[in-house]
Chain A
Amino acid sequence: MAWDSSSVRRPDFINTTGFRWGVTVATVATLGIALLFVFIYWQCAVVMIAPIDALISAEADSITSAPEPLLEALAEHVAHDRRHLKVMGLFDAAGQPIAGNLVAQPRPFIADGRLQSIVAFRRGEEAGAPQYARALGRPLADGTILVVGHNIDEFLAMRASVRRGLLLALAPAILLSLGSGAFLGLRAQQRLTLLRTTAVRIAAGQLGERLPVRARGDDLDALAQIVNRMLDEFERLVEDIKGVGEDIAHDLRTPLTWARARLERGRAHATSLEAMNDVVDQALGGIDQALNVAAALLRIAEVEHGQRHAAFGPVDLSDIVGDVGEVYRPLAEDRGIDFAWRLCGSDAAPLMVQGDRDLLIEALANLVDNAVKFAPPGGHVVIELGNTGAGPLLRVCDDGPGISPGDRDHVFRRFFRSDKSRHTQGTGLGLSLVAAVARLHQFGLTIGDNEALAAHHAGDGTEHRTPARGPGCVVELTCWPQAQARISVAPSPRDPAPNPVLAITAPAD
């Protein structure tokens, strides 16, 4: 069981889910932000310049197509430019200014009518200050070139401030995404580390530990819950095994101790051969009992582990009941026990089950053996075979001391014998074997008492005819395959059994 926790390699930090998560989150967020910024900048740089370009084209058209002579139209446009935004000029083929507000034709410049970004110099009070502008040059029929443009300082200023803003915001945005990535990654890592360390402790044998489950309940919590349920089951099994170990020791040691004591006393005190023989016989009895315990244990292991489905075939339960009934009747009669078996329901077909005939006989005989053993003289034992909607139901009732509700849980465990029966011979493994057979067949097995049975039948008008001398013991085998073989205790009156109502129909004696 001991598990060296150091053998679980601690993963490199780079390989941890948390780190990967963090890096992924940060990368995706950074890429998103960068994409957003590029888009905003593109909108400013390209899209916002389009109306300016359109305005310039329109102005060039209005100048060239004006009714008055070109020079007048040009002068008028320049004159009306109160905000000093226009860049206009007419140049001869050599590039010398003829009219307009420019000192020279801007260079480099291609006068092909397309809009372009230029740097130009105006005359007058702004002479010497470069004018950043959008402009087009239109060659005219007389060889001159008309340049129409628009200052874009405002646009450039806005673009610059947008760029500055974006660049200023980029650093904190990337830092924020890296930070949130690291935070999420570390948090996931912390949870996984917690789960891992707990799992390592559990693997090292601390089966009482459970994985932490948060109230919020995400999928990791759901997984942890499943693992915890699995651990509950493991813990129960381990407890069972521990209990079985103690039970084995007890059940083997008791007869052996007794046999040893008997032999010891006989050796010291027996005075005749007869007395010695007597002692030896008694000691042999004790040893046989210990051997029977071992044999019964092996038998249960065989049924539990064996792949005995090979022997499965159609088995007629009424046949088995009749067989076991006939075998046990003389025994019951000798003990003054009122013994009966009843086949309820007339159609025989549903009383067939798929199973191992020998094992089913063994299981039923064990139940009847128990019932006959525990029923008091003058008591009753009844085997009933009935048909519920879901399948055949086999029931063995007695009115012996019964099994106290507290003990019923333990009864199907190997080796358990309730204290009331400690004085009775037997290996105490009978019910464990029945449980093993039931599990193999995926049958349900329930143990209860007469009170529970009577309560069960209170509503359906049938009469349970085992007069109670004691609380009695009622064992029911529900003989149809159930998804999970159900080995359970007492359908108590307050807590009705989950199986379909046990509709044992009118007894046919």
Chain B
Amino acid sequence: MSAEHEAATEQRHADSADAEAGEPPKLQAENLTKQFGRIVAVDDVSLEIRPAEVFALVGDNGAGKSTLMNMLSGVHEPTKGQIYKDGQPVNFSNPADARATGIETVYQDLALMDDLDIATNIFMGQFPRNGVGPLRFIDWDETYERAEQIMMEQLGRDVDIKTEVEFLSGGQRQLVAIGRALAFDPDVIILDEPTSALSVDATRLVQDTIEKLADQGITIVIVSHNIESVLKLADRIGVLFRGSLVNIKQPEETDLEELNELMTTGTLESKSMDE
């Protein structure tokens, strides 16, 4: 991590702490519960995500992190509980509702169209257009210009936006998916397993990008089971176990072993026994 970036991260933490004092949470879950038939996937989870922080949700398979993410991104409606955005109660019945409030989600499968180029992928469904009345057509010049802007200025990557996505590496594909989220000008981006199945270099590329976005004031929610990566990136880490939020830790006050124990047992019994 560069000195410049460390300073930016510290500043972000300070801003986040200030925000905690004054501003409402950027995103808040209050007693969120989701049941599928008789199975309780998420059980009475309450948490607050501060403006411009990188918040990670970790948990083992079946811990409920994807279900919680899906409620925050509008894929699932909660069975019980309330979501707040910037202090205001919001109800999402589909991802478009969440998008309308500034929440974008990058799913694990990235939802990219391999045969199409980067710019077309970024603006699919929301192309810049020009024309009059119903006769409005895609403005390709602006599409390419804006796609380049997003990739260059916001993601800091010098790219050929006419490259077909099929020929990008895993990390590069992740960036394009994030670029598409940015095209909607969000203030919260939820990333589902952003570094899973990526090489070391690609993981670093994605981590740098996430830090860059957070430095720009965008609130990032990472859903992951890659604790190592999360420890490097997150300002706070929420641990889910069997549908419940069992702990929220700051990276400075925890380690890989402790988080692993929380994820697999839901408690820190061995630690307290040692003590």
Chain A bound to chain B: no
